[in-house]
Structure formats: C-alpha cells, structure tokens
C-alpha cells in the first residue's frame, strides 16, 4: 500500500512538471521589439494641466536605443538625451529647468506626457504630441 502511494505520487509530480512546463512555454513574452526610428526634426505641441499651450522644437538623433539631440522651447534651449524601447520614447532636456517627455510612437506622431519641476512653482505636467517637421 505504501509503495503504491509513492508510485502514484511520483506519477502525479511528473505529470504536474510536464503540464506546468508546457504552460510556461506557452506564456513566454514576445521577443524584444526593435526600436522605432525617431531620428529627425520634430515640432512639439504641448498643453499643460492649467490649459496653456506651447510649441517647442526638438531634433533627435538615434543610435540603436539611445537618443541625443537639441531642444528649443520658448524659454530655454539645450541638449537632449533619452532612450527608445520598442515604440516607447523617453527623453529629457539638458536645460536650466529639465523637461522630461515620455511618449509612444504610433507610426506618424509621438504622444504622451511631459513633466518639469520649476523652482518656486513646483511640478508641472501635461500632454504633448510631436509631429515630424516638414
């Protein structure tokens, strides 16, 4: 009787091992997606949570998943650094008040949220959309 329990338990454990292995293989994440190409000149249309709208400009250079470039806004300009992961883009300005842009490339434009911390005002953020400049 004792031997039979051991054999049944062993068979159960082996079956469980194969079933769980098959489920894990079926649930593997898709292979990493190559980063989209966002090299070029872009016009950024941003809107803050307080309703203000502004136009900004960025030129992005891409090397694999790394971004560099130049930013020009109404109050400051400077370099840019960031990354591309699939179609997710994050870059920040190397300016007096650092702006961070997080977005998603949909094939034609980049859309997302921006944020900045301004001394004596605190954090500000809003929506943005960038389109390639003609």
Average pLDDT of each block of 10 consecutive residues along the chain (134 residues)? 57 45 49 86 93 95 98 96 97 96 96 94 94 91
Report the domain count for the chain. Answer: 2
66 plus 95 within the same structural domain: yes
Question: 89 lies in a domain?
Answer: yes
Is residue 35, in this structure, part of any structural domain at all? no
Distance CA 99, CA 102 (A): 10
Question: What's the domain range around 81?
Answer: 40-132
Instruction: Give the model's pLDDT for residue 30.
Output: 54
C-alpha separations of 64 from 35, 42, 87, 109, 119 in Å:
7, 19, 13, 19, 35
What's the CA gap between 25 and 53, in Å, rounded?
48
Per-residue model confidence (pLDDT) at position 33: 75
**Distance, CA of 92 to CA of 75 (rounded, Å):** 15
> What local confidence, expressed as pLDDT, does residue 104 receive?
97
CATH number, domain at 85? Answer: 2.40.128.120
Nearest-angstrom CA–CA distance, 49 and 130:
18
């Amino acid at each position: 009787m004792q031997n039979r329990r051991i054999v049944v338990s062993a068979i159960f454990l082996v079956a469980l091992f194969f079933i769980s292995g098959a489920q894990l293989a079926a649930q593997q994440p898709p292979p990493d997606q190559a980063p989209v190409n966002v090299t070029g000149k872009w016009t950024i249309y941003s809107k803050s949570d307080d309703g203000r709208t502004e136009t900004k400009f960025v030129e992005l250079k891409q090397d694999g998943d790394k971004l560099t470039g130049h930013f020009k806004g109404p109050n400051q300009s400077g370099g840019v650094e960031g990354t591309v992961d699939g179609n997710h883009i994050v870059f920040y300005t190397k300016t007096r008040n650092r702006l961070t842009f997080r977005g998603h490339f949909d094939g034609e434009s980049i859309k997302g949220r921006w944020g900045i911390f301004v001394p004596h005002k605190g954090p500000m953020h809003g929506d943005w959309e960038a389109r390639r400049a003609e």
